[in-house]
Structure 1
Amino acid sequence: MAREMGLKGARRAELQETLDQLVIEGRLFEGRRGHYALADRKSGYVPGRFSATTGGYGFVAPTRDIPNIEGDLFIPPDATADAMHGDRVLVEIVRVKPDGRAEGKVRSILHREQSLVVGRFHFSPHGCRVEPHDERVKGEIEIEPGKELPPASFYGERLGKVNPPRVSKPSELDGLIVTVAIHEFPSRYRLARGRVIEVLGREDDFGVDVEVMIRRYHIPYRFSEEALEQAKAIPEEIPEAEIVRRRDFRELPIVTIDGETARDFDDAVLVDHNDDGSWSLQVHIADVSHYVRPGSALDRDARQRGTSVYFPDRAVPMLPAALSTGICSLNPGVDRLVMSALLTLGPQGELRKADFCRGVIRSAARMTYTKVFRILEGDEELRAEYRELTPGFERMRDLAKLLMAKRRKRGAIDLDLPEPEIVFDDQDRMIGVKRSERNIAHRLIEELMLAANEAVAAHLLAARRELLHRVHESPSPKSLAELEQVARSFGHSLGLELRERTIQRSRKRRDGSKPLREVRLSADSGLDSRDLQRFVDHIEGRPEQRILSFRLLRSMKQARYSEINKGHFALAAKAYTHFTSPIRRYPDLVVHRALGAWLDGADGPSTEELAAIADHASMTERRAVDAERALMDWKKAKFMEQRMGDEFEAMVTSVAEPGMWVELVDLFVEGFVPVESIEGERFGYRENLRAMVGRRTGRKYGLGDRVQVRVDRIEWDRLRPELTCLGPWKPGKPA
């Protein structure tokens, strides 16, 4: 190529650097003898991120949509090319099945993500090794002789109250959790090699679990010095010259409503009911874009993080505290800059007009969900304390109910599933797990934010502005067919017509090859979100509601960010975006910039820039969710370790050949019952019943059944308790 273009010296080196960067980005594939090819579907090569599993196989999430291919690409164990979990790879598509699922082979590793690995140190005079904490990282890591002790500069910096032990010789590291920098990556014939760069402490030390998850999921937690200097240089007071440029809302009774432990306040609201029956909704969002300029050190750090990450006892913020809990946070009684959405809605909540502007507010009160709920429930003491604000809360509730009804009428799916919440004592020790409380105060803020987000998306689209969309595509026919089968086992239906035919199992079972009912569904299921919401309404209040709601959630695709508008299936919205949380979500900051560019008559972000941001933001969102979930599972596993041998009531939530998955009814803890741990007789899985069936008596354990279980051990590689099923649950049994 250089010869054809007549490039020599520095120009030739520049060409090589550009080609190398395009390979890293997954746009080109480097073949043999210096040949390059476009990495697209037509060439058979697709870039993506590799996700390893404990079974040796993996999946690759493509960085862009691939026509006629559904979901991630399956990578067999012998086709991973020694890729590690999280690596960016280039995959050759080798097979596409009729249902759109594809199988691939890793052809090259574009970027190694796992250069830092956290794990348990094992000392030996013959050579030290580190066992990775993440079971998806295969094999131990050999520690180079003389590289067992970390550099002194790596001691001390932690997110929370962790005080790691000081060590002076390698033997003192035995059993401690450390961070390793990999210098030589593993191959089929050798282990990875590296050096210890950080000592986190003992696994049971307070706060070590959070530090482990931060490093395991590669969450950036150190701000650059330049970003910290920029944050420090921002004045704590807003200049008068900036205030006069904006619309002044400081005299209005605008409030924030958040959780008890929240410290960063993105949004503030005000609702008025007009004489003609219409509604005026003001949603004021922290104007982070005023302080975080594109390309600045603050912007680079925020973009890299993508989102704040929230753990039960602390958070990893997207922005330094000087902004996130300081000048950007809509704290009460102080002037704050905002981007304002001023919506006029009809008597039934329909949007009539939307105006947007830069503003300044002074929050009248920092309210909590609990206080607002109690006020709305008639708490006389609180209603007296907030007598001037109480009518506003009632108007918010009334408008939220209208908006909720309007969304449900158009087909928005409302599962409202509870989330687990860790309970701590006053010494920060975990003492239990409970279902997090959700009440009308939570719902009213959600509805007002949804209305603002939709209005911003519709406005920017109408103005022909490029923006970052929040998209949610419809479920695949296959996932809906599986949900229909489960629903029918409880006597319900989504309304799907399933065409079935009998096929023969290709894999032998103990009792020989058995016929299996396989469901074939046409490409267009004919269902829309209204059908699914009717199903949700139908199962409400029934014993199987929780199981079927979770099954419905799992049948749907993940919402993500995109530069292309594809609508939002679950919200039944033609267009949707994220605008209301720029302190903790980078996409919201990008949308603020697009709206600000429209206000100024300037150019906003380009499509190419938005595409890159969308891919990265979707990845950081998944990373945060995975880290938060893994930390929650670890804490629950540690808690259940103290309950070894105890018996509990549990509900069967899933059944397959290996065994049953159950949820402990009072603890919000999930566990696994291996088929051989079901007492009484030998059991086997019956696919047509989706149940375990006793081979002697025919006793059946299926979805929704209540059973008595005993905690036997903790599966630390999967962070869950392993249980024995003692039999059907009978009220009055000890728990």
Structure 2
Amino acid sequence: MKQAVYQHLKRRNRPTHPKELARALGLKRSEVRGLLNELVAEGKVERVRSRYQLPGGGKLVTGRLDLARDGYGFVVREDGGPDLFVPEARLRGAWHGDRVEARVTGADRRGREVGEVVRVLERARRNAVGTLRFARGYAWLSPEDPRLPPRIKLKPEGLALVPEGSRVAARLVFPEESGEREVYGVFLERLGEGGDDVEAETRAVILKHDLREAFPEEALAEARRAARAPLGPELDRREDLRALPVFTVDGADAKDFDDAVHLRRLEDGTFEVGVHIADVAHYVKEGSALDREAFARGTSVYLPGRVLPMLPEVLSNGVCSLVPGEDRLAVSVLVRLDREGRVLGHRLVESVIRSRARLTYAEVEAFLEGAAPGEALRPLAEDVRTLFLLSQRLRARREAEGAIFFDFPEVKVELGPKGEVHLIPIREEKARSLIEELMLLANRLVAGELEARGLPALFRVHEDPSEDRFRELSEALARLGYRLEAPTPAAYQKVLKAAAGRPEAEVVATLLLRSLKLARYAEESLGHFGLAFRDYLHFTSPIRRYPDLVVHRVVKAMIRGRLSEEKLERWRRTFPQVAEHASVRERLAEAAERELAKYHQARWARDHLGEVFEGTVSGVQSFGFFVLLPNGVEGLVRKESLGDDFYVYDPETLSLLGERTGRRIRLGERL
């Protein structure tokens, strides 16, 4: 069998995970790992992070280009191999975020692989935002993003009445599309008239990150037809759960309720916990215009003061939303738990439910803290209390398995009627933990069942940190007095516990978080490092995430026994591209949300100039230090502004040291 493993790696000619080998060769994963270890010892195979390849293999790699401000970049490989360093001169017209094919050409003095871009497979952006300039008889766009070229030539159409210095948006036309030698831009619109313009800033972020606003009429028409369709035939064939005490828990301003829960006490002293998820797949048919638009969007985007939903509101806030008192179609995970939170069994069913109440995190939190239940919560009080106790047992079991728990404060940006900024810390820890644990449970059980059956799915994967990141993290933690024993979830958790309650706790957590890879979607189950789960996926939010909708289609086909070979083959063929696209759209949405939140935080800071606040030193550099306020606002304090001494940066202790006073400004210090 060792030769079969070797030949399979030779045919694939790229880094391969042991799980892929086990599946392809019909072996147990433990057998495959043993054979791979023997091949590594013989020098016939080399290990690349969690994958294996022949020595010198993988000369052509595919991935996303991550550009630094200095011009060079790294190809973040799709196969999980080490990031490929690409000098600026070898980018060949590729831009930040582009999906590229690159060739490994050698290694540098540090042993890091070096390569060159061969071709651009997919452009990351269609639009750019910047300042309009005129020079040498041409119009030019000076982009705001420093990772883009410093200027892009614009076509003159539409610019006759636009003054120089205006903030404008342009559609990018690349050489592969135009046949020209250089990229150029086509003027789209002027963004605001100058000054603080919230609408213009929001519009700029939408354009910059290629977010979609209006729905195509064909998709809207399909949504309206789906919403009007009678439920009669569906109600008859589904498991009727309308008599159960089902309820939702969401934020006070939420409208798209895609998950609900219930508790039922069984005669043997165990519990049935139901996690009911809106059956969006019933309304959004695979391959329809509505489905194509949902795929293109990938996710709902929640900007301050504005939501760009993945689905039209007639579905997302209408017939798909699990509002109280209405019959709703769902896909339900019915889990049997004992008092210690152990899973004794589960079922997946297509169901019809009727929510009893729409509860908010705030009222559930108040109740769990000892307040009397309100009118909506009162009939469900004992269920909520028991579900919370069970959720904490589930959390404790996850902790024992090595899950990493980060406790960063969350702040929500809200805009008042006149655009005023309110930064509101999110504090409903118990209520949110209750729902989070039940959703994690459902996601994990669905992932495990699909993986055990060998069915195609979109998994949520979080791979181990790279060797370079782990080494850098270990060195940084050592300067703060901590020892990271191994690149495992349990070792990370141990450091977090050791730092808990100490001034540098938040800084330690930040260092640990930054060392981790980004979670992504994949067509294979590669485990989730942060959650310490062997199998995991997203199932519980199909109204706002496309991968969840895809998983629902697989689950529904499994429940109905309609898994034809043709369907399975189509899914296996298309899911890798769906996973990559969904991951890209998720990153764009997160970047847009983060950028606009930072803008509003800057507006808040401007409105509070001269006021004094307490904060925590969140970063130290040679030029100064960063301070994070409790409301999420972070700012730079330049060292020349410190009048009490001349400060020198000490990289060993990540601090600034005053030469005369000996005062030291450290990470985690309260100021």
Fold shared, TM-score > 0.5 on shorter chain: yes
1:148 partner letter: G
After superposition, residues 416-431 of structure 1 pair within 5 angstroms as: 416-430=407-421
Q: Select the residue among 345, 364, 377 that pairs with 1:386.
A: 377
Inter-partner Cα distance in structure 2 for 1:546 and 1:184: 43
Distance in 1 (CA, whole Å) between partners of 2:648 and 2:542 is 52
Alignment correspondent of 1:565: 525
Report the CA distance between 1:98 and its aligned residue. Answer: 8.9
Moved more, 362-371 or 200-209: 200-209
Note the C-alpha offset of 1:257: 0.6
Q: Which residue of 1 aligns with 2:481?
A: 491
How far is the alpha carbon of 1:452 from its aligned partner?
A: 0.6
Letter in 1 for 2:131: R
- CA displacement at 1:211 relative to structure 2: 1.5
Compute the displacement of 1:425 (Å). 3.0
Give per-residue Cα distances to partners, 1:75-94, cap 9 Å, x unaligned: 22222223223333222222
Match of 2:339 in 1: 347
Query: Offset of 1:454 from its aligned partner?
Result: 0.9
Deviation for aligned residue 1:284 = 0.6
Find 1:580's aligned residue among 526, 534, 540: 540
Q: Deviations over 1:637-677 (max 9, x none)?
A: 233234456555443222234x3442233442222344555
The match for 1:9 is none
Distance of 1:235 and 1:314 partners within structure 2? 24
In structure 2, relative to structure 1, the CA distance for the partners of 1:633 and 1:46 (3 Å cut) is same
CA contact 1:133–1:216 (8 Å) conserved in 2: no
Shift of residue 337 of structure 1? 0.7
Structure 1 residue 212, shift from structure 2 partner = 1.2
Does 2:91 match 1:80? Answer: yes
Give aligned-pair identity as a percent.
38
Instruction: Report SS of the residue matched to 2:585.
Output: helix
Indicate the residue corresponding to 2:493 in structure 1: 533
| SS of alignment partner, residue 115 of structure 2 | strand
Pair 1:194 & 2:204 matched? no
Aligned counterparts of 2:134 and 2:606: Cα–Cα separation in 1: 26
Structure 1 position 288 matched with structure 2 position 294: no
Greater Cα shift, 534-543 or 125-134? 125-134
2:357 aligned residue: 365
- Structure 2 residue aligned with 1:399, among 381, 390, 395? 390
In the alignment, what sits opposite 1:628? Answer: 593
Tell me whether 1:670 sits opposite 2:662 in the alignment: no
| Aligned match for 2:441, one of 421, 439, 451 | 451
Q: Which runs of 5 or more residues in structure 2 are unaligned?
A: 1-54
Q: Is 1:683 aligned with 2:647?
A: yes
Listed as ranges, the matches of 1:83-94 within 5 Å are: 83-94=94-105
Q: Provide, for residues 113-169 of structure 1, a one-character-per-residue CA deviation record: whole Å limited to 9, x for no partner.
A: 444222233468954333323232222233333x135xxxxxxxxxxxxxxxxxxx5
Q: State the superposition RMSD in angstroms.
A: 2.8
Q: Secondary structure at the match of 1:485?
A: helix
Q: Which range moved further: 568-577 or 648-657?
A: 648-657
The letter for the 1-side match of 2:664 is K
1:704 pairs with 659, 668, 671, which one?
668
Aligned partners of 2:278 and 2:356: how far apart in 1?
15
> Residues of 2 paired with 1:419 and 1:104: CA distance?
40
Amino acid at match of 1:584: R
Q: Distance in 1 between matches of 2:660 and 2:296?
A: 58
| Equivalent residue number for residue 301 of structure 1 | 293
Letter in 2 for 1:110: L
What is the alpha-carbon distance in structure 2 between the residues aligned to residue 576 and residue 43 of structure 1? 28
Q: Deviations over 1:354-405 (max 9, x none)?
A: 111111111111111011112223333x445532121221121111111111
Show the counterpart of 1:158: none
SS in 1 for 2:274: strand
Distance 1:362 1:318 in 2: 24
User: Which string of whole-angstrom CA distances, capped at 9 and with x for unpartnered residues, describes residues 548-580 of structure 1?
Assistant: 111111122211111121111221211111110
For 1:175-254, what aligned pairs fall within 5 Å after superposition?
A: 175-183=165-173, 192-202=183-193, 204-236=196-228, 238-254=230-246
- TM-score normalised per structure 1: 0.77
Q: Which residue of 2 aligns with 1:312?
A: 304
Match of 1:161 in 2: none
**Aligned counterparts of 1:95 and 1:105: Cα–Cα separation in 2:** 10
Describe the superposition over 1:494-534 as per-residue Cα deviations: whole angstroms up to 9, x where unpaired: 3x3xxxxxxxxxxxxxxxxxxxxxxxxxxxx3x53223223
**Which residue identity does 2:508 align to in structure 1?**
L
Q: Which residue of 2 aligns with 1:410?
A: 401
> 2: CA distance between counterparts of 1:367 and 1:581?
18
Q: Deviations over 1:286-340 (max 9, x none)?
A: 1111111111111111111111111121111111111111111111211111001
Q: Residue 482 in 1 paired to residue 472 in 2?
A: yes
Question: Hey, what's the Cα distance between the residues in 1 that align with 2:208 and 2:603?
Answer: 18
Using the alignment, how far apart are the partners of 1:487 and 1:633 within structure 2? Answer: 28
- Aligned residue in 2 for 1:502: none
User: Aligned partners of 1:183 and 1:326: how far apart in 2?
Assistant: 39
Counterparts of 2:669 and 2:558, CA distance in 1: 56
**How does the TM-score come out when normalised to structure 2?**
0.84
The equivalent residue for 1:338 is 330
Deviation of 1:236 (Å): 3.4
Partner in structure 2 of residue 58 of structure 1: 73
CA contact (8 A) 2:619 2:627 kept: no
Q: Could you tell me how far 1:423 is from its partner in structure 2?
A: 4.2
| Counterpart code for 1:632 | A
More deviation in 304-313 or 41-50?
Answer: 41-50
Residue of structure 1 aligned with 2:139, choices 128, 144, 151:
128
* Cα separation, 1, equivalents of 2:643 and 2:90: 40
Separation of aligned partners in 2, 1:323 and 1:656:
49
Q: Distance in 1 between matches of 2:265 and 2:649?
A: 59
Q: In 1, Cα distance between the equivalents of 2:376 and 2:428? A: 23
> Amino acid of the residue matched to residue 86 of structure 1?
G
Secondary structure of 2:379's aligned partner: coil
SS at the partner of 2:210?
Answer: coil
Q: 1:174 to 1:640 in 2, by over 3 A?
A: farther
Preserved CA contact (<8 Å) 1:130 1:140: yes
2-structure distance, mates of 1:182, 1:610: 29
- Structure 2 CA distance, aligned partners of 1:132 and 1:433? 29
Q: Distance in 2 between matches of 1:391 and 1:696?
A: 63
What displacement does 1:608 show?
A: 2.4
**Are the counterparts in 1 of residues 227 and 283 from structure 2 also a CA contact under 8 Å?**
no
Unmatched runs of 5 consecutive residues or more in structure 1: 1-39, 150-168, 497-524, 708-735
Q: CA, structure 1 residues 125+610, in 2 after alignment: closer, same or farther (shift >3 Å)?
A: closer
Q: Distance in 1 between matches of 2:192 and 2:507?
A: 39
Count of aligned positions: 609
Q: Is the 8 A contact 2:125 2:209 kept in 1?
A: no
Counterpart amino acid of residue 501 in structure 2: G
Report the Cα distance in structure 2 between the residues aligned to 1:623 and 1:614, rounded to whole angstroms.
14
Distance 1:284 1:205 in 2: 42
Say if 1:440 and 1:41 are closer, same or farther in 2 by CA, change over 3 A. farther
Contact kept, 8 Å, 2:541 with 2:548, in 1: the verdict is: yes
Distance, in Å, in 1 between the alignment partners of 2:582 and 2:174 is 30
Segment drifting more, 648-657 vs 317-326: 648-657
Are the counterparts in 2 of residues 285 and 340 from structure 1 also a CA contact under 8 Å?
Answer: yes
Aligned residue for 1:56, secondary structure, equals coil
Q: 1:219 to 1:661 in 2, by over 3 A?
A: farther
Higher helix share: 2
Provide closer, same or farther for how the CA distance between residues 123 and 543 of structure 1 changes in structure 2, counting only shifts above 3 A.
same
Matching residue of 1:30 = none
Letter aligned with residue 62 of structure 2? P
Q: Tell me if the contact between 2:522 and 2:576 (Cα under 8 Å) persists in the aligned partners.
A: yes
Report if the CA contact (8 A) 1:411-1:530 is conserved: yes
Q: Is the CA contact 1:120–1:132 (under 8 Å) kept in the aligned structure 2?
A: yes
Aligned twin of 2:575: 610
